[in-house]
Amino acid sequence: MKRKRAWAEPYKIKMIEHLHMTTPEERRRFIEEAGYNTFLLRSKDVYIDLLTDSGTSAMSDRQWAQIMLGDEAYAGSKDFLDMEAAVREYYGYQYVVPTHQGRAAEHLISKIMIKPGDFVPGNMYFTTTRLHQELAGGTFVDVIVDEAHDPESDFTFKGNINLQKLEELIIDKGPEKIPYVSMATTVNMAGGQPISMSNLRALRMLTSKYNIPIVHDMTRVAENAYMIQQYEEDYRHKTVAEIVREICDLTDMATMSAKKDALVNIGGFLAVNDYEVFEEARSLVVVYEGLHTYGGMAGRDMGALAVGIRESVSDEHIKARVGQVQYLGNKLLEAGIPIVHPIGTHGVFLNAKQFLPHIPQDQFPAQSLAAELYLDSGVRAMERGIVSAGRNKKTGEHNYPKLELVRLTIPRRVYTQSHMDVVADSVEAVYDKRENIGGLKMVFEPKYLRFFQARFEPVPVGWELVGNEELSYSK
């Protein structure tokens, strides 16, 4: 029988960054000081940092070379032209407006396209995307397939849009009330789940029928393309670069947080095919970000981004990147840990509702689980549940998402499989003591995107919260 050869990362390590391990006593103090919010920890007190894959990638030697070669002219930097050329070549969009990161591109497109009273359908909300749509006067409507809200469904393309739901919305509200469909590759809040090319093609046909544009959140488009290559029959022999281009060609405009797929520590852009939208964005970017040839980025960052775009669509790179995430996910599955199925592309998502079934959702089980993981081993993860979902903009009540998750997000090209083994060990250790883990109460809540800065205090196991201030005992 032919032996299957193990795969390895398609790079070797040229420079390292030291990690620092803390004691359990130190971690207890640090998490208390951070109000049980992993965003408020100092990174020097973290051992393995799986908070996010955003801006945390290791750049290549070629990208670092661009940092040294950066053209820091205020206007017309060669690095902007390189970045614009890379966007045109690999993504196919004609006009590019640079921004300091993804949410700034979301701000511009929401301001340009959305009128008060509009509805913006999308394949599940993302925190910053929805907020900018709401600030522009729109209402986000979730039209993702139902499987996406079920952490145990093994459906391969949980990022798909339910086209019937979408068409019903268009007919109900009228196409003139739908400025665009917001379509993300992959869907972060669902667990890093891809949309299929066949669903996207059908979406294109439906939106063309009503003359509604598609705005593509292309933050993790290469990872989505890889999943299409792996699981959609017709794409098995296409390269990731070809599939990325085909996805982009089916859409009208895109917002990009280049801090993820595109392998840079800062940066983003808005890319469009419509000249009028471009003109509007180019004049607004000057107000909010900077001149239209840097938009909040340094020349060197745009140079690194041009190279990052090219590297991000390499089949070898993306296979190793998603392969590492799958390695961790499979280890946790083997250990019987409840995680979101199927394993996503940028992280493994713990199902906190099933992990800690004794903690009611308004005691923030995922927030508590993320804090507990840090206490156990210094591994930092992120809550993606009721805290991230925020409040209903009309009633002011918490939104209660079906998914109450802790995201173990894997930075690109940063950690080794041994780090993944340590993470898996720690998750298992926390699972063994799950019955002793209590919930939290929120003691400080910022106005916007509360998950970044909210503070919490522990609620002992078996205690039930009455109001948000007093604790009263319940059996």
Contact footprint for ligand PM9 (CB under 6 A): 52, 54, 101-103, 126-129, 184, 188, 217, 219, 257, 259, 268
Starting at the edge strand that comes first in sequence, how are the strands of the sheet with 95-99 ordered? Answer: 95-99, 268-272, 253-257, 214-217, 181-184, 119-122, 139-142
Active site includes 126? yes
Residue number with CB closer to ligand PM9 (30 or 126): 126
Matching residue, tokens 């990022």:
159
Closest approach of ligand PM9 to the CB of residue 267, in Å: 8
User: In angstroms, what CA-CA distances link 128 with 18, 101, 294, 450?
Assistant: 32, 11, 22, 11
Q: Pick the catalytic residue: 217, 252, 261, 301?
A: 217
Active site includes 74? yes
Closest approach of ligand PM9 to the CB of residue 392, in Å: 19
Burial 68-97 (b: 16+ CB within 10 A, else e): eebbeeeeebebbebbbebbeebbbbebbb
Residue number with CB closer to ligand PM9 (100 or 238): 100
Closest approach of ligand PM9 to the CB of residue 188, in Å: 4
Residue number with CB closer to ligand PM9 (101 or 459): 101
Cis peptide before 24 (omega within 30 of 0): no
Residue number with CB closer to ligand PM9 (102 or 378): 102
Q: Which has the closest alpha carbon to 445: 433, 431, 437, 455?
A: 455
Active site includes 119? no
Q: Where are the beta strands (DSSP E) in 200-294?
A: 214-217, 253-257, 268-272
Matching residue, tokens 């669903």:
199
Q: Pick the catalytic residue: 127, 128, 186, 409?
A: 127
What is the torsional sign of CA 114, 116, 118, 124?
Answer: positive
The partner residues of 214 in beta bridges, in order of sequence, read 181
Active site includes 260? yes
Q: Which has the closest alpha carbon to 426: 356, 291, 328?
A: 328
Residue number with CB closer to ligand PM9 (127 or 207): 127
Residue number with CB closer to ligand PM9 (104 or 307): 104
Q: Which residue's C-beta sits nearest to ligand PM9?
A: 102
Closest approach of ligand PM9 to the CB of residue 185, in Å: 9
Q: Pick the catalytic residue: 103, 158, 238, 260?
A: 260
Alpha-carbon distance of 383 to 364, in angstroms, equals 9
Closest approach of ligand PM9 to the CB of residue 375, in Å: 22
Active site includes 186? no
Classify 59 in phi/psi space as left (phi over 0), alpha (psi -120 to 50) or beta.
beta
Alpha-carbon distance of 121 to 136, in angstroms, equals 15
Q: Pick the catalytic residue: 126, 157, 180, 364?
A: 126
Helices (H) and strands (E) in the chain, counts: 16, 16
Q: Pick the catalytic residue: 282, 384, 412, 413?
A: 384
Q: Pick the catalytic residue: 157, 226, 451, 456?
A: 451
Residue 274, SS3 per DSSP: coil
Closest approach of ligand PM9 to the CB of residue 220, in Å: 7
Closest approach of ligand PM9 to the CB of residue 284, in Å: 17
Cβ within 8 Å of residue 448, ≥6 positions away: 131
Residue number with CB closer to ligand PM9 (27 or 450): 450
Q: Which residues are catalytic?
A: 74, 126-127, 217, 260, 384, 451
